[in-house]
């Protein structure tokens, strides 16, 4: 796969209100990379991700994400950046009052999808991709934590973004289920997306060798860039 930079930061500083969280951040990430964000609690991983998806405004330094200049990005344009990024959280953040299908449909409608049949086809394709092809009619509370996270990943993929940002996506899951979710996220990177994942799980990191961004001393050590995702030790094409 040809290397193509999708995240490009130069001398970025990340602030929360007046509090300087990170400085001297210069990082380039290519499509197809799997990147772990590692560091102690409070070292700035979530704030870094928020900067990438436009939740925190970039005031200092230069940042380009999926073709958007973060410094010049106006608040009302942030939804356009978000369409290029899929976001996955530790606590899934599904809408509990509707089915899996309707959770996905909700995001589709909010991002401009109109044709019912196209939406239904895309939903089926996405759910099959994450191994939930028969569960679209279920409500979130009828699914296990791992299944709910798969729905959240399907939702993140709705607009076929080049970047997936995952903030401790396995934080609420048991080791076996975490492993399955990792396989899924890895396969997404292998299909050409940049996947960035904050985690404290060193066992997972040992098993799925990706690039590591280390958050320490108020900055980020960018690790060694790899163009392609290394194959997972027990690589399997099948997600189930
Ligand atoms: N809303 C806020 N207001 C003020 N300070 C904040 C806010 N959110 C986070 N911070 C501070 O910013 C710093 C970075 O926090 P951040 O949540 O980005 O770290 P993290 O590495 O993601 O931590 P964790 O591993 O616990 O999720 C911390 O010092 C934190 O206390």
Q: From ligand 1's centre to the CA of 179, what distance in Å?
A: 27
77 shares a domain with 10: yes
67 shares a domain with 13: yes
CA-nearest residue, atom 26 of ligand 1: 41
170 shares a domain with 56: yes
Ligand 1 atom closest to residue 48's alpha carbon, by position in its atom list? 18
Domain that holds residue 11: 5-84+161-221
Q: Quick one: pLDDT at residue 57? A: 93
Q: From ligand 1's centre to the CA of 51, what distance in Å?
A: 12
77 shares a domain with 16: yes
110 shares a domain with 144: yes
Q: Quick one: pLDDT at residue 68? A: 97
176 shares a domain with 61: yes
Does 236 fall in a domain?
Answer: no
Angle at 85 between CA 79 and CA 87, to 5 degrees: 100
142 shares a domain with 30: no
Angle at 90 between CA 138 and CA 132, to 5 degrees: 30
139 shares a domain with 26: no
How far is it, in rounded angstroms, from Cα 188 to Cα 191?
5
Q: Quick one: pLDDT at residue 194? A: 97
Does 147 fall in a domain?
Answer: yes
Q: Quick one: pLDDT at residue 209? A: 81
Residue with tokens 């299944």: 147
Q: Output the tens digit of pLDDT for each of the chain's 240 residues.
A: 446 999 999 999 999 988 999 999 999 999 999 999 999 999 999 999 999 999 999 999 999 999 999 999 999 999 999 999 999 999 999 999 999 999 999 999 999 999 999 999 999 999 999 999 999 999 999 999 999 999 999 999 999 999 999 999 999 989 999 999 999 999 999 999 999 999 999 999 999 989 999 999 999 998 876 545 555 544 444 333
Structure tokens that stand for 123 in this block: 């939903």
> Do you know the residue count of the chain?
240
Does 116 fall in a domain?
Answer: yes
Does 10 fall in a domain?
Answer: yes
Q: Of the residues 126, 152, 178, which one is the last residue of a structural domain?
A: 152
13 shares a domain with 79: yes
Q: Which residues pair with 65 in a beta bridge?
A: 7, 68
166 shares a domain with 147: no
pTM for the whole thing?
0.89
Ligand 1 atom closest to residue 44's alpha carbon, by position in its atom list? 18
Q: From ligand 1's centre to the CA of 232, what distance in Å?
A: 31
Q: From ligand 1's centre to the CA of 49, what distance in Å?
A: 11
CA-nearest residue, atom 5 of ligand 1: 16
Q: Quick one: pLDDT at residue 231? A: 55
42 shares a domain with 104: no
Instruction: Specify the number of domains making up the chain.
Output: 2
Does 52 fall in a domain?
Answer: yes
Q: Which residues line ligand 1 (CB under 6 A)?
A: 16-17, 19, 21, 39, 41-47, 215
Q: Of the residues 106, 123, 152, which one is the last residue of a structural domain?
A: 152
CATH number at residue 16: 3.40.50.300
- Pick from 18, 45, 202 the residue to mutate for probing ligand 1's pocket: most ligand atoms within 8 Å of its CB: 45
Does 240 fall in a domain?
Answer: no
Can you tell me the ipTM of this complex?
0.92
24 shares a domain with 71: yes
CA-nearest residue, atom 10 of ligand 1: 16
Does 89 fall in a domain?
Answer: no
Q: From ligand 1's centre to the CA of 71, what distance in Å?
A: 21
Q: From ligand 1's centre to the CA of 125, what distance in Å?
A: 36
Does 109 fall in a domain?
Answer: yes
How far is it, in rounded angstroms, from Cα 39 to Cα 168?
12
Structure tokens that stand for 24 in this block: 């001297």
């Amino acid at each position: 796969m040809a290397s193509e930079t999708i995240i490009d930061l130069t001398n970025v500083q990340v602030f929360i209100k007046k509090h300087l969280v990170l400085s001297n951040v210069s990082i380039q990430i290519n499509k197809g990379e799997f990147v772990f964000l590692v560091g102690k609690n409070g070292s700035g991983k979530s704030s870094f991700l928020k900067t990438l998806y436009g939740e925190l405004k970039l005031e200092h330094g230069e940042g380009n994400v999926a073709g958007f200049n973060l410094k010049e990005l106006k608040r009302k344009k942030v939804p356009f950046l978000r369409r290029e990024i899929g976001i996955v959280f530790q606590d899934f953040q599904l809408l509990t009052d509707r089915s899996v299908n309707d959770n996905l449909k909700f995001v589709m409608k909010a991002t401009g999808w109109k044709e019912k049949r196209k939406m239904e086809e895309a939903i089926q394709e996405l759910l099959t991709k994450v191994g939930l092809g028969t569960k679209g009619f279920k409500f979130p509370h009828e699914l296990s934590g791992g299944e709910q996270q798969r729905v959240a990943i399907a939702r993140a993929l709705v607009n076929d973004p080049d970047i997936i940002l995952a903030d401790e996506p396995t934080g609420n899951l048991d080791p076996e289920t975490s492993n399955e979710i990792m396989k899924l996220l890895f396969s997404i990177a292998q299909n050409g997306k940049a996947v960035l994942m904050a985690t404290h799980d060193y066992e997972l990191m040992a098993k799925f060798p990706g690039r590591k961004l280390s958050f320490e001393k108020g900055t980020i050590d960018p690790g060694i860039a790899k163009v392609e995702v290394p194959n997972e030790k027990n690589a399997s094409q099948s997600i189930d």
